[in-house]
Amino acid sequence: MAHRSATGQPMRRQPMAGQSMVEYLIVLMLFVLALTAGPHSPLERLFEAFGDRYERFTYAMSMP
């Protein structure tokens, strides 16, 4: 049985749009918060590791 409008015509279903985008944004915000929160956040540790490796690389390249 189809739902009918006030005029008696069958109502069309509106596609659900936008709900999943909001859910993805919430999950993404929680992920970014988890990466950046705290004094020794994983993101800070990653940048420190890149800096350390770059220092070692430039030292090795400067050797005769």
Mean pLDDT of the chain: 87
Residues of the chain with pLDDT below 70 are: 1-3, 5, 14-17
pLDDT of residue 2: 60
How far from 31 is each of 7, 19, 26, 36, CA to CA, in Å? 48, 19, 9, 9
pLDDT of residue 3: 67
Could you please report the per-residue DSSP string of 11-52?
PPPPPP-SHHHHHHHHHHHHHHHHHH-STT-HHHHHHHHHHH
**First-to-final CA distance of the chain:** 84
DSSP 8: S
pLDDT of residue 26: 96
pLDDT of residue 39: 86
